[in-house]
Amino acid sequence: MVDVVIGTFFGDEGKGKIIDFLSQNAKVSVRCTGGNNAGHTINVNGKKFAFHLIPSGILNKGTKAIIGNGVVVNPKVLIEELENLKANNIDISNFYISDKAQVIMPYHVAMDELQEDIRENKIGTTKRGIGPSYCDKIDRSGIRIEDLYSKNFESLVRENVKSKNVIFKNYGYKTFNSEEIIKEYKEYAEYLKSYVTDTVSMLHESIEKKEKILCEGAQATLLDIDLGSYPYVTSSNPTIGGICSGSGIGAKYLGEVYGVLKAYSSRVGEGPYITEQNNEIGDTIRELGHEYGTTTKRPRRCGWLDLVALKYSCMVNGLTGLAVNHVDTIGKLDKIKLCVAYNHNGDINMKYSTNAEYIANCSPVYEEFEGNFGDISKIKRREDLPENAKKYLNRIEELVGVPIKFIGTGADREDMIVVE
Protein backbone atom coordinates (compact mmCIF):
# COMPACT_ATOMS: atom_id res chain seq x y z
CA MET A 1 0.00 0.00 0.00
CA VAL A 2 2.82 2.36 0.84
CA ASP A 3 5.62 2.86 -1.67
CA VAL A 4 8.76 4.80 -0.93
CA VAL A 5 11.22 6.79 -3.03
CA ILE A 6 14.70 7.26 -1.59
CA GLY A 7 17.89 8.92 -2.84
CA THR A 8 20.76 6.46 -3.01
CA PHE A 9 23.74 8.84 -3.11
CA PHE A 10 24.27 12.48 -2.11
CA GLY A 11 20.90 13.86 -3.25
CA ASP A 12 19.64 15.34 -6.53
CA GLU A 13 19.28 11.95 -8.19
CA GLY A 14 15.99 12.99 -9.79
CA LYS A 15 13.65 11.82 -7.04
CA GLY A 16 11.14 14.53 -7.95
CA LYS A 17 10.64 13.14 -11.41
CA ILE A 18 10.08 9.58 -10.18
CA ILE A 19 7.70 10.77 -7.47
CA ASP A 20 5.77 12.81 -9.98
CA PHE A 21 5.31 9.70 -12.09
CA LEU A 22 4.41 7.36 -9.22
CA SER A 23 2.02 9.82 -7.62
CA GLN A 24 -0.24 9.55 -10.66
CA ASN A 25 -1.39 6.29 -9.08
CA ALA A 26 -1.25 7.46 -5.48
CA LYS A 27 -4.01 8.96 -3.40
CA VAL A 28 -1.52 10.46 -0.98
CA SER A 29 2.05 11.70 -1.20
CA VAL A 30 4.00 12.54 1.93
CA ARG A 31 7.33 14.20 2.74
CA CYS A 32 8.85 12.63 5.84
CA THR A 33 12.22 14.25 6.57
CA GLY A 34 14.40 17.27 5.88
CA GLY A 35 13.19 20.73 5.02
CA ASN A 36 13.83 23.33 2.36
CA ASN A 37 17.37 22.07 1.91
CA ALA A 38 15.69 19.80 -0.65
CA GLY A 39 15.06 20.84 -4.22
CA HIS A 40 13.02 18.49 -6.37
CA THR A 41 12.62 19.48 -10.01
CA ILE A 42 9.79 18.49 -12.30
CA ASN A 43 9.43 19.62 -15.89
CA VAL A 44 5.83 19.65 -17.06
CA ASN A 45 4.85 20.90 -20.50
CA GLY A 46 7.88 23.15 -20.74
CA LYS A 47 7.31 24.54 -17.25
CA LYS A 48 9.83 23.88 -14.49
CA PHE A 49 8.62 23.34 -10.92
CA ALA A 50 11.12 23.25 -8.04
CA PHE A 51 9.70 21.85 -4.83
CA HIS A 52 11.48 22.46 -1.54
CA LEU A 53 8.89 21.55 1.09
CA ILE A 54 5.62 20.57 -0.49
CA PRO A 55 5.50 16.98 -1.79
CA SER A 56 5.80 17.10 -5.55
CA GLY A 57 2.82 14.74 -5.76
CA ILE A 58 0.68 17.89 -5.42
CA LEU A 59 1.01 18.35 -9.19
CA ASN A 60 -1.40 15.45 -9.62
CA LYS A 61 -4.87 16.75 -9.11
CA GLY A 62 -6.63 14.68 -6.48
CA THR A 63 -3.45 13.45 -4.78
CA LYS A 64 -3.25 14.61 -1.18
CA ALA A 65 0.11 16.22 -0.42
CA ILE A 66 1.23 15.95 3.19
CA ILE A 67 4.18 17.40 5.07
CA GLY A 68 4.82 14.78 7.73
CA ASN A 69 5.86 15.09 11.36
CA GLY A 70 9.56 14.45 10.60
CA VAL A 71 9.97 17.56 8.47
CA VAL A 72 11.42 20.90 9.61
CA VAL A 73 9.29 23.68 8.15
CA ASN A 74 10.21 27.26 7.41
CA PRO A 75 6.71 28.79 7.25
CA LYS A 76 7.85 31.74 5.17
CA VAL A 77 9.26 29.42 2.51
CA LEU A 78 6.19 27.20 2.68
CA ILE A 79 3.83 30.14 2.14
CA GLU A 80 5.92 31.33 -0.82
CA GLU A 81 5.75 27.84 -2.30
CA LEU A 82 1.97 27.65 -1.82
CA GLU A 83 1.50 31.08 -3.38
CA ASN A 84 3.69 30.10 -6.31
CA LEU A 85 1.60 26.97 -6.93
CA LYS A 86 -1.60 29.01 -6.73
CA ALA A 87 -0.18 31.47 -9.25
CA ASN A 88 0.42 28.50 -11.56
CA ASN A 89 -3.17 27.30 -11.14
CA ILE A 90 -2.16 24.22 -9.17
CA ASP A 91 -4.89 23.06 -6.83
CA ILE A 92 -3.64 23.24 -3.23
CA SER A 93 -6.88 22.28 -1.51
CA ASN A 94 -5.37 18.83 -0.93
CA PHE A 95 -2.38 20.12 1.00
CA TYR A 96 -1.88 19.22 4.69
CA ILE A 97 0.83 19.84 7.23
CA SER A 98 1.54 17.86 10.37
CA ASP A 99 0.83 19.55 13.68
CA LYS A 100 3.99 17.82 14.94
CA ALA A 101 6.43 19.10 12.30
CA GLN A 102 9.17 21.36 13.69
CA VAL A 103 9.26 25.04 12.80
CA ILE A 104 12.42 26.65 11.44
CA MET A 105 12.86 29.98 13.17
CA PRO A 106 14.98 32.94 11.95
CA TYR A 107 17.61 32.18 14.60
CA HIS A 108 18.05 28.66 13.15
CA VAL A 109 18.97 30.09 9.77
CA ALA A 110 21.38 32.55 11.38
CA MET A 111 22.87 29.80 13.55
CA ASP A 112 23.47 27.62 10.47
CA GLU A 113 25.38 30.55 8.96
CA LEU A 114 27.36 31.18 12.14
CA GLN A 115 28.29 27.53 12.58
CA GLU A 116 29.47 27.23 8.99
CA ASP A 117 31.50 30.44 9.41
CA ILE A 118 33.32 29.23 12.49
CA ARG A 119 33.79 25.59 11.43
CA GLU A 120 37.33 24.69 10.45
CA ASN A 121 36.12 21.80 8.28
CA LYS A 122 33.12 23.26 6.50
CA ILE A 123 30.18 20.97 5.74
CA GLY A 124 28.86 23.18 2.97
CA THR A 125 25.31 23.21 4.33
CA THR A 126 22.48 24.83 2.42
CA LYS A 127 22.29 27.44 5.23
CA ARG A 128 18.57 26.96 5.53
CA GLY A 129 18.66 26.35 9.29
CA ILE A 130 18.11 22.62 8.98
CA GLY A 131 20.81 21.42 11.40
CA PRO A 132 20.07 23.95 14.16
CA SER A 133 16.34 23.22 13.89
CA TYR A 134 16.86 19.46 14.30
CA CYS A 135 19.27 20.24 17.17
CA ASP A 136 16.47 22.01 19.02
CA LYS A 137 14.08 19.15 18.26
CA ILE A 138 16.46 16.61 19.81
CA ASP A 139 17.24 19.04 22.63
CA ARG A 140 13.46 19.30 23.22
CA SER A 141 13.45 23.08 22.94
CA GLY A 142 12.06 23.07 19.41
CA ILE A 143 8.80 24.75 18.42
CA ARG A 144 6.30 22.55 16.62
CA ILE A 145 3.59 23.66 14.23
CA GLU A 146 0.95 23.03 16.92
CA ASP A 147 2.86 25.32 19.29
CA LEU A 148 2.19 28.22 16.93
CA TYR A 149 -1.43 27.99 18.11
CA SER A 150 -0.73 27.34 21.79
CA LYS A 151 -0.80 29.76 24.69
CA ASN A 152 2.84 28.80 25.34
CA PHE A 153 4.03 30.04 21.95
CA GLU A 154 5.22 33.46 23.10
CA SER A 155 7.16 32.12 26.08
CA LEU A 156 8.72 29.39 23.93
CA VAL A 157 10.01 32.00 21.49
CA ARG A 158 11.27 34.27 24.26
CA GLU A 159 13.09 31.42 26.00
CA ASN A 160 14.75 30.29 22.76
CA VAL A 161 15.70 33.78 21.64
CA LYS A 162 17.23 34.51 25.03
CA SER A 163 19.54 31.50 24.95
CA LYS A 164 20.43 31.87 21.26
CA ASN A 165 21.22 35.57 21.61
CA VAL A 166 23.94 34.74 24.12
CA ILE A 167 25.75 32.81 21.38
CA PHE A 168 25.12 35.39 18.64
CA LYS A 169 26.36 38.16 20.94
CA ASN A 170 29.44 36.17 21.87
CA TYR A 171 30.44 35.86 18.22
CA GLY A 172 29.53 39.44 17.35
CA TYR A 173 26.53 38.41 15.23
CA LYS A 174 23.23 40.23 15.01
CA THR A 175 20.89 39.30 17.87
CA PHE A 176 17.13 38.67 17.57
CA ASN A 177 14.10 40.47 18.96
CA SER A 178 11.60 37.91 20.24
CA GLU A 179 8.59 40.23 19.92
CA GLU A 180 9.25 40.79 16.22
CA ILE A 181 9.52 37.03 15.67
CA ILE A 182 6.29 36.42 17.59
CA LYS A 183 4.44 38.95 15.46
CA GLU A 184 5.83 37.58 12.19
CA TYR A 185 5.16 33.94 13.06
CA LYS A 186 1.62 34.62 14.27
CA GLU A 187 0.88 35.94 10.80
CA TYR A 188 2.30 32.78 9.22
CA ALA A 189 0.30 30.68 11.68
CA GLU A 190 -2.90 32.41 10.64
CA TYR A 191 -2.16 31.79 6.95
CA LEU A 192 -1.37 28.09 7.51
CA LYS A 193 -4.11 27.31 10.04
CA SER A 194 -6.49 25.55 7.68
CA TYR A 195 -3.77 23.14 6.46
CA VAL A 196 -2.63 21.94 9.88
CA THR A 197 -3.82 18.54 11.00
CA ASP A 198 -2.95 15.25 12.70
CA THR A 199 -1.32 13.69 9.65
CA VAL A 200 -0.52 10.40 11.40
CA SER A 201 -4.23 9.68 11.88
CA MET A 202 -4.91 10.93 8.38
CA LEU A 203 -2.37 8.55 6.83
CA HIS A 204 -3.76 5.62 8.78
CA GLU A 205 -7.28 6.42 7.65
CA SER A 206 -5.91 6.17 4.11
CA ILE A 207 -4.22 2.87 4.93
CA GLU A 208 -7.51 1.51 6.28
CA LYS A 209 -9.26 2.59 3.09
CA LYS A 210 -6.51 0.82 1.13
CA GLU A 211 -5.49 4.02 -0.58
CA LYS A 212 -2.08 4.09 -2.23
CA ILE A 213 0.45 6.22 -0.34
CA LEU A 214 3.74 7.43 -1.72
CA CYS A 215 6.54 8.56 0.60
CA GLU A 216 8.73 11.19 -0.99
CA GLY A 217 12.27 10.87 0.29
CA ALA A 218 14.41 14.00 0.41
CA GLN A 219 18.22 14.18 0.58
CA ALA A 220 19.75 10.74 0.33
CA THR A 221 21.37 7.72 1.94
CA LEU A 222 24.96 8.98 2.04
CA LEU A 223 23.73 12.23 3.63
CA ASP A 224 22.00 10.31 6.45
CA ILE A 225 23.02 11.45 9.93
CA ASP A 226 23.57 7.83 11.04
CA LEU A 227 24.35 5.94 7.86
CA GLY A 228 26.01 8.64 5.74
CA SER A 229 29.47 10.17 5.55
CA TYR A 230 29.33 11.90 8.94
CA PRO A 231 29.98 14.75 9.62
CA TYR A 232 29.40 15.71 5.96
CA VAL A 233 25.73 14.86 6.16
CA THR A 234 22.39 16.46 6.77
CA SER A 235 20.76 16.39 10.21
CA SER A 236 17.99 13.87 9.58
CA ASN A 237 17.51 10.26 8.53
CA PRO A 238 16.62 10.30 4.82
CA THR A 239 16.92 6.49 4.80
CA ILE A 240 14.06 4.06 5.32
CA GLY A 241 13.87 4.48 9.11
CA GLY A 242 13.29 8.21 8.75
CA ILE A 243 10.48 7.52 6.32
CA CYS A 244 8.66 5.51 8.99
CA SER A 245 9.35 7.81 11.94
CA GLY A 246 8.82 10.95 9.86
CA SER A 247 5.35 9.89 8.78
CA GLY A 248 4.13 7.55 11.50
CA ILE A 249 3.80 4.66 9.04
CA GLY A 250 5.08 1.36 10.42
CA ALA A 251 7.36 -0.96 8.46
CA LYS A 252 4.70 -3.60 7.89
CA TYR A 253 2.75 -1.27 5.61
CA LEU A 254 5.67 -0.64 3.25
CA GLY A 255 5.67 -2.13 -0.24
CA GLU A 256 8.10 -1.07 -2.93
CA VAL A 257 11.14 0.89 -1.82
CA TYR A 258 12.61 2.54 -4.90
CA GLY A 259 16.16 3.83 -4.83
CA VAL A 260 16.89 6.68 -7.24
CA LEU A 261 20.30 7.25 -8.80
CA LYS A 262 21.85 8.93 -11.78
CA ALA A 263 23.84 7.04 -14.38
CA TYR A 264 26.76 9.07 -13.01
CA SER A 265 27.01 10.72 -9.58
CA SER A 266 27.09 14.18 -8.03
CA ARG A 267 27.54 15.82 -4.68
CA VAL A 268 26.97 19.36 -3.41
CA GLY A 269 28.78 20.40 -0.28
CA GLU A 270 31.93 18.95 1.24
CA GLY A 271 32.92 15.41 2.13
CA PRO A 272 34.58 12.34 0.64
CA TYR A 273 33.59 11.38 -2.89
CA ILE A 274 35.73 8.60 -4.24
CA THR A 275 34.57 8.63 -7.88
CA GLU A 276 34.64 12.41 -8.19
CA GLN A 277 36.11 13.70 -11.44
CA ASN A 278 37.53 17.04 -10.43
CA ASN A 279 38.71 17.53 -13.99
CA GLU A 280 37.48 17.95 -17.54
CA ILE A 281 35.28 14.85 -17.35
CA GLY A 282 33.50 16.17 -14.27
CA ASP A 283 33.07 19.55 -15.96
CA THR A 284 31.62 17.88 -19.05
CA ILE A 285 29.15 15.84 -16.99
CA ARG A 286 28.13 18.98 -15.08
CA GLU A 287 27.37 20.86 -18.28
CA LEU A 288 25.64 17.95 -20.01
CA GLY A 289 23.50 17.18 -16.95
CA HIS A 290 22.94 20.82 -15.93
CA GLU A 291 24.32 19.94 -12.53
CA TYR A 292 23.73 23.15 -10.60
CA GLY A 293 21.85 23.09 -7.29
CA THR A 294 18.06 23.44 -7.38
CA THR A 295 18.15 25.07 -3.95
CA THR A 296 21.47 26.91 -3.69
CA LYS A 297 22.47 27.08 -7.39
CA ARG A 298 25.92 25.79 -6.41
CA PRO A 299 27.79 23.85 -9.12
CA ARG A 300 27.55 20.16 -8.21
CA ARG A 301 30.68 18.06 -7.98
CA CYS A 302 30.37 15.33 -10.61
CA GLY A 303 31.86 11.91 -11.20
CA TRP A 304 31.30 8.30 -12.19
CA LEU A 305 28.67 6.02 -10.75
CA ASP A 306 29.89 4.12 -7.69
CA LEU A 307 28.36 0.64 -7.38
CA VAL A 308 30.06 -0.03 -4.06
CA ALA A 309 28.14 2.87 -2.52
CA LEU A 310 24.99 1.89 -4.41
CA LYS A 311 25.16 -1.64 -3.04
CA TYR A 312 25.43 -0.18 0.47
CA SER A 313 22.36 1.96 -0.24
CA CYS A 314 20.44 -1.07 -1.45
CA MET A 315 21.40 -2.91 1.70
CA VAL A 316 20.61 -0.33 4.38
CA ASN A 317 17.30 0.73 2.82
CA GLY A 318 16.18 -2.71 1.68
CA LEU A 319 15.59 -1.37 -1.83
CA THR A 320 13.24 -3.38 -4.02
CA GLY A 321 13.81 -1.49 -7.27
CA LEU A 322 16.06 1.11 -8.85
CA ALA A 323 15.30 4.20 -10.89
CA VAL A 324 18.31 5.17 -13.03
CA ASN A 325 18.04 8.74 -14.31
CA HIS A 326 20.18 10.66 -16.77
CA VAL A 327 20.93 7.64 -18.94
CA ASP A 328 20.57 10.10 -21.84
CA THR A 329 23.21 12.36 -20.29
CA ILE A 330 25.85 9.69 -19.67
CA GLY A 331 25.16 8.35 -23.17
CA LYS A 332 26.47 11.59 -24.63
CA LEU A 333 30.01 10.61 -23.61
CA ASP A 334 32.26 8.43 -25.79
CA LYS A 335 33.50 6.31 -22.90
CA ILE A 336 31.86 5.70 -19.55
CA LYS A 337 33.51 4.43 -16.41
CA LEU A 338 31.68 2.46 -13.74
CA CYS A 339 33.19 1.88 -10.31
CA VAL A 340 32.71 -1.81 -9.57
CA ALA A 341 34.95 -2.22 -6.51
CA TYR A 342 37.33 -0.40 -4.17
CA ASN A 343 40.99 -1.21 -3.90
CA HIS A 344 41.81 -0.86 -0.20
CA ASN A 345 45.57 -1.15 0.15
CA GLY A 346 45.62 -3.96 -2.41
CA ASP A 347 42.46 -5.68 -1.18
CA ILE A 348 39.81 -5.41 -3.92
CA ASN A 349 36.24 -5.69 -2.65
CA MET A 350 32.76 -4.13 -2.61
CA LYS A 351 32.89 -3.08 1.02
CA TYR A 352 31.57 0.43 1.55
CA SER A 353 32.43 2.41 4.64
CA THR A 354 31.46 5.88 5.74
CA ASN A 355 34.79 6.11 7.58
CA ALA A 356 36.72 8.93 5.90
CA GLU A 357 40.11 7.37 6.65
CA TYR A 358 39.08 4.05 5.11
CA ILE A 359 37.77 5.82 2.02
CA ALA A 360 40.96 7.91 1.79
CA ASN A 361 42.92 4.65 1.56
CA CYS A 362 40.71 3.26 -1.18
CA SER A 363 40.95 3.83 -4.88
CA PRO A 364 38.08 3.08 -7.26
CA VAL A 365 38.32 0.07 -9.58
CA TYR A 366 36.66 0.92 -12.89
CA GLU A 367 35.20 -0.99 -15.80
CA GLU A 368 34.91 0.94 -19.04
CA PHE A 369 31.82 1.02 -21.25
CA GLU A 370 31.10 2.45 -24.67
CA GLY A 371 28.86 5.53 -24.72
CA ASN A 372 27.28 7.35 -27.66
CA PHE A 373 23.74 6.14 -26.97
CA GLY A 374 22.22 8.69 -29.38
CA ASP A 375 18.81 10.25 -28.73
CA ILE A 376 16.98 7.84 -26.42
CA SER A 377 14.35 10.27 -25.14
CA LYS A 378 11.48 8.75 -27.10
CA ILE A 379 12.29 5.10 -26.33
CA LYS A 380 9.64 3.47 -24.17
CA ARG A 381 10.89 -0.12 -23.80
CA ARG A 382 14.15 -1.25 -22.25
CA GLU A 383 14.72 -3.77 -25.04
CA ASP A 384 14.67 -0.94 -27.59
CA LEU A 385 17.61 0.85 -26.00
CA PRO A 386 20.89 0.83 -27.91
CA GLU A 387 23.20 -2.10 -27.06
CA ASN A 388 25.73 0.15 -25.29
CA ALA A 389 23.06 1.46 -22.93
CA LYS A 390 21.77 -2.06 -22.27
CA LYS A 391 25.24 -3.33 -21.40
CA TYR A 392 25.79 -0.49 -18.95
CA LEU A 393 22.43 -0.91 -17.22
CA ASN A 394 22.72 -4.71 -17.11
CA ARG A 395 26.06 -4.45 -15.33
CA ILE A 396 24.59 -2.14 -12.68
CA GLU A 397 21.77 -4.57 -12.02
CA GLU A 398 24.08 -7.57 -12.01
CA LEU A 399 26.49 -6.13 -9.45
CA VAL A 400 23.99 -4.70 -6.97
CA GLY A 401 21.35 -7.40 -7.32
CA VAL A 402 18.33 -5.07 -7.40
CA PRO A 403 16.17 -4.76 -10.52
CA ILE A 404 15.95 -1.53 -12.50
CA LYS A 405 12.30 -0.45 -12.66
CA PHE A 406 12.64 3.02 -14.19
CA ILE A 407 15.08 4.44 -16.72
CA GLY A 408 15.35 8.20 -17.13
CA THR A 409 15.84 9.20 -20.76
CA GLY A 410 15.47 12.99 -20.48
CA ALA A 411 14.46 15.79 -18.13
CA ASP A 412 10.80 15.97 -19.11
CA ARG A 413 8.02 14.23 -17.27
CA GLU A 414 7.44 11.80 -20.15
CA ASP A 415 11.10 10.95 -20.73
CA MET A 416 11.11 7.67 -18.88
CA ILE A 417 11.05 3.95 -19.51
CA VAL A 418 8.91 1.99 -17.08
CA VAL A 419 10.38 -1.50 -17.04
CA GLU A 420 7.69 -4.18 -17.14
Give the C-alpha distances (Å, rounded to integers) separating 82 from 65, 90, 138, 293: 12, 9, 28, 21
Widest CA span of the chain, in angstroms?
65
Q: Which run of H or of E encompasses 360?
A: helix 356-360
- Say how many residues touch ligand IMO, by CB under 6 A: 24
Catalytic residue among 12, 112, 136, 328: 12
Beta strand 196-197 with 2-7 is unpaired
234 scored as a contact of ligand IMO (CB under 6 A):
yes
216 scored as a contact of ligand GDP (CB under 6 A):
no
Active site residue 347: no
Give the C-alpha distances (Å, rounded to integers) separating 62 from 58, 347, 369, 394: 8, 53, 43, 37
Strand ranges, E, within 157-316: 196-197, 213-216, 254-262, 265-267, 301-303, 305-306
75 scored as a contact of ligand GDP (CB under 6 A):
no
Beta strand 335-344 with 347-349 is antiparallel
* CA separation for the pair 104, 73 (Å, rounded): 5
Member of 74, 219, 237, 325 binding ligand IMO (CB under 6 A): 219
Which entry of ligand IMO, Mg ion, ligand GDP, none binds 14, CB below 5 to 8 A by partner kind?
ligand GDP
What residues from 286 to 325 belong to the interface with Mg ion (CB under 5 A)?
294
Segment interacting with ligand GDP (CB under 6 A) among 11-19, 67-75, 188-196, 351-359: 11-19
What residues from 99 to 138 belong to the interface with ligand GDP (CB under 6 A)?
none
Active site residue 12: yes
* CA separation for the pair 65, 195 (Å, rounded): 10
Beta strand 72-73 with 95-98 is unpaired
* CA separation for the pair 419, 321 (Å, rounded): 10
What residues from 295 to 354 belong to the interface with ligand GDP (CB under 6 A)?
325-326, 328-329
What residues from 20 to 59 belong to the interface with ligand GDP (CB under 6 A)?
39-41, 43
Our CA angle for 285, 287, 290, nearest 5°, is 100
CA-based nearest residue to 242, from 57, 4, 2, 58: 4
Q: Indicate the residue among 37 and 60 with the shorter CB distance to ligand IMO.
A: 37
Member of 7, 9, 10, 12 binding Mg ion (CB under 5 A): 12
What residues from 239 to 298 belong to the interface with ligand IMO (CB under 6 A)?
268-269, 294
CB of 31 to ligand IMO, least distance (A): 10
- Please report, as ranges, the residues that interact with ligand GDP according to CB under 6 A: 7, 11-17, 39-41, 43, 290, 294, 325-326, 328-329, 408-411, 415
Q: Which residues carry out catalysis?
A: 12, 40
- Please report, as ranges, the residues that interact with ligand IMO according to CB under 6 A: 7, 10-12, 37-40, 123-126, 128, 130-131, 218-220, 223, 234-235, 268-269, 294
